[in-house]
Amino acid sequence: MTAYLQELFQLRLFKPKQGRHARQATLIAIGVVLAAGAWSLKGWLEAEGFSAGQTIGIPLAVFAATGWMAFRLIQMPKFAEFLIAVEAEMSKVSWPTQSELLKASGVVIFVIFGLAALLFVYDWVLKYVLSGQLFTDLGLM
Protein backbone atom coordinates (compact mmCIF):
# COMPACT_ATOMS: atom_id res chain seq x y z
CA MET A 1 0.00 0.00 0.00
CA THR A 2 2.86 2.37 0.77
CA ALA A 3 4.33 1.79 -2.68
CA TYR A 4 1.02 2.77 -4.25
CA LEU A 5 0.73 5.89 -2.09
CA GLN A 6 4.26 6.92 -3.12
CA GLU A 7 3.42 6.23 -6.77
CA LEU A 8 0.16 8.18 -6.54
CA PHE A 9 1.85 11.58 -6.37
CA GLN A 10 4.41 11.11 -9.15
CA LEU A 11 4.12 12.27 -12.73
CA ARG A 12 6.60 9.92 -14.43
CA LEU A 13 5.55 7.06 -16.69
CA PHE A 14 7.06 3.61 -16.15
CA LYS A 15 8.52 2.26 -19.42
CA PRO A 16 6.19 4.39 -21.55
CA LYS A 17 6.99 2.73 -24.89
CA GLN A 18 6.28 -0.83 -23.72
CA GLY A 19 2.89 -2.46 -23.25
CA ARG A 20 1.11 0.58 -24.56
CA HIS A 21 -1.96 -1.19 -26.01
CA ALA A 22 -2.53 -3.34 -22.93
CA ARG A 23 -2.25 -0.31 -20.67
CA GLN A 24 -4.61 1.75 -22.80
CA ALA A 25 -7.20 -1.04 -22.94
CA THR A 26 -6.94 -1.53 -19.18
CA LEU A 27 -7.33 2.17 -18.48
CA ILE A 28 -10.32 2.42 -20.83
CA ALA A 29 -12.00 -0.55 -19.12
CA ILE A 30 -11.39 0.95 -15.68
CA GLY A 31 -12.62 4.33 -16.97
CA VAL A 32 -15.89 2.82 -18.19
CA VAL A 33 -16.50 1.30 -14.75
CA LEU A 34 -15.64 4.59 -13.04
CA ALA A 35 -17.91 6.55 -15.40
CA ALA A 36 -20.79 4.17 -14.64
CA GLY A 37 -20.15 4.65 -10.93
CA ALA A 38 -20.09 8.43 -11.29
CA TRP A 39 -23.35 8.31 -13.28
CA SER A 40 -24.95 6.17 -10.58
CA LEU A 41 -23.71 8.56 -7.89
CA LYS A 42 -25.22 11.47 -9.83
CA GLY A 43 -28.60 9.71 -9.94
CA TRP A 44 -28.45 8.97 -6.22
CA LEU A 45 -27.56 12.58 -5.39
CA GLU A 46 -30.48 13.82 -7.52
CA ALA A 47 -32.86 11.42 -5.76
CA GLU A 48 -31.64 12.61 -2.36
CA GLY A 49 -32.40 16.22 -3.27
CA PHE A 50 -28.90 17.68 -3.56
CA SER A 51 -28.50 20.93 -5.50
CA ALA A 52 -27.74 20.91 -9.23
CA GLY A 53 -24.16 22.05 -8.62
CA GLN A 54 -23.55 19.28 -6.13
CA THR A 55 -25.11 16.60 -8.33
CA ILE A 56 -22.66 17.52 -11.09
CA GLY A 57 -19.61 18.55 -9.04
CA ILE A 58 -19.36 15.64 -6.63
CA PRO A 59 -19.49 12.88 -9.29
CA LEU A 60 -17.02 14.80 -11.47
CA ALA A 61 -14.63 15.19 -8.55
CA VAL A 62 -14.95 11.51 -7.63
CA PHE A 63 -14.45 10.50 -11.27
CA ALA A 64 -11.37 12.73 -11.62
CA ALA A 65 -9.81 11.49 -8.37
CA THR A 66 -10.44 7.81 -9.05
CA GLY A 67 -9.38 8.23 -12.68
CA TRP A 68 -6.05 9.66 -11.55
CA MET A 69 -5.68 6.79 -9.07
CA ALA A 70 -6.37 4.27 -11.85
CA PHE A 71 -3.87 5.97 -14.15
CA ARG A 72 -1.22 5.86 -11.45
CA LEU A 73 -2.05 2.22 -10.67
CA ILE A 74 -1.30 1.30 -14.28
CA GLN A 75 2.08 3.05 -13.97
CA MET A 76 3.14 1.09 -10.87
CA PRO A 77 6.17 -1.04 -11.80
CA LYS A 78 4.63 -4.42 -10.82
CA PHE A 79 1.34 -3.72 -12.59
CA ALA A 80 3.03 -2.17 -15.63
CA GLU A 81 5.43 -5.12 -15.95
CA PHE A 82 2.44 -7.48 -15.87
CA LEU A 83 0.68 -5.54 -18.65
CA ILE A 84 3.90 -5.42 -20.69
CA ALA A 85 4.20 -9.22 -20.35
CA VAL A 86 0.53 -9.62 -21.32
CA GLU A 87 1.02 -7.60 -24.49
CA ALA A 88 4.16 -9.58 -25.36
CA GLU A 89 2.26 -12.87 -24.96
CA MET A 90 -0.67 -11.56 -27.01
CA SER A 91 1.68 -10.82 -29.89
CA LYS A 92 2.99 -14.42 -29.78
CA VAL A 93 -0.47 -15.98 -30.18
CA SER A 94 -1.34 -17.30 -33.62
CA TRP A 95 -4.81 -15.95 -34.28
CA PRO A 96 -7.15 -17.87 -36.63
CA THR A 97 -7.99 -16.60 -40.09
CA GLN A 98 -11.48 -15.33 -40.78
CA SER A 99 -12.51 -18.50 -42.62
CA GLU A 100 -11.27 -20.70 -39.75
CA LEU A 101 -13.14 -18.51 -37.29
CA LEU A 102 -16.38 -18.75 -39.30
CA LYS A 103 -16.10 -22.54 -39.61
CA ALA A 104 -15.41 -23.02 -35.91
CA SER A 105 -18.24 -20.65 -34.96
CA GLY A 106 -20.62 -22.52 -37.27
CA VAL A 107 -19.77 -25.82 -35.60
CA VAL A 108 -20.31 -24.36 -32.14
CA ILE A 109 -23.66 -22.80 -33.11
CA PHE A 110 -24.82 -26.05 -34.76
CA VAL A 111 -23.92 -28.09 -31.66
CA ILE A 112 -25.68 -25.61 -29.36
CA PHE A 113 -28.90 -25.75 -31.40
CA GLY A 114 -28.64 -29.55 -31.58
CA LEU A 115 -28.30 -29.81 -27.82
CA ALA A 116 -31.19 -27.39 -27.33
CA ALA A 117 -33.39 -29.55 -29.58
CA LEU A 118 -32.34 -32.70 -27.72
CA LEU A 119 -33.14 -31.12 -24.36
CA PHE A 120 -36.52 -30.00 -25.72
CA VAL A 121 -37.32 -33.59 -26.74
CA TYR A 122 -36.19 -34.92 -23.34
CA ASP A 123 -38.34 -32.33 -21.58
CA TRP A 124 -41.37 -33.14 -23.74
CA VAL A 125 -41.01 -36.90 -23.13
CA LEU A 126 -40.58 -36.44 -19.38
CA LYS A 127 -43.61 -34.17 -19.23
CA TYR A 128 -45.62 -36.79 -21.13
CA VAL A 129 -44.47 -39.63 -18.87
CA LEU A 130 -44.79 -37.78 -15.56
CA SER A 131 -48.22 -36.35 -16.35
CA GLY A 132 -49.65 -39.88 -16.43
CA GLN A 133 -50.81 -39.53 -20.02
CA LEU A 134 -48.60 -42.44 -21.06
CA PHE A 135 -50.43 -44.85 -18.75
CA THR A 136 -53.80 -43.61 -19.98
CA ASP A 137 -52.80 -44.05 -23.62
CA LEU A 138 -51.54 -47.58 -22.93
CA GLY A 139 -54.78 -48.47 -21.13
CA LEU A 140 -53.04 -49.15 -17.84
CA MET A 141 -55.14 -46.66 -15.92
Give this prediction's pTM: 0.64
Tens-digit pLDDT profile for residues 42-56: 999 999 999 999 999
Task: Give residue 140's pLDDT.
Answer: 66
Which of 11-15, 47-51, 119-123, 124-128 is the least confident region?
11-15
Task: Give residue 10's pLDDT.
Answer: 76
- Is the pLDDT at 136 greater than 80? The verdict is no
Instruction: Please give the average per-residue pLDDT across 65-71, as a whole number.
Output: 93
Question: Predicted confidence band at 63 (pLDDT cuts at 50, 70, 90)?
Answer: very high
Tally Cβ neighbours within 10 Å of residue 75.
20
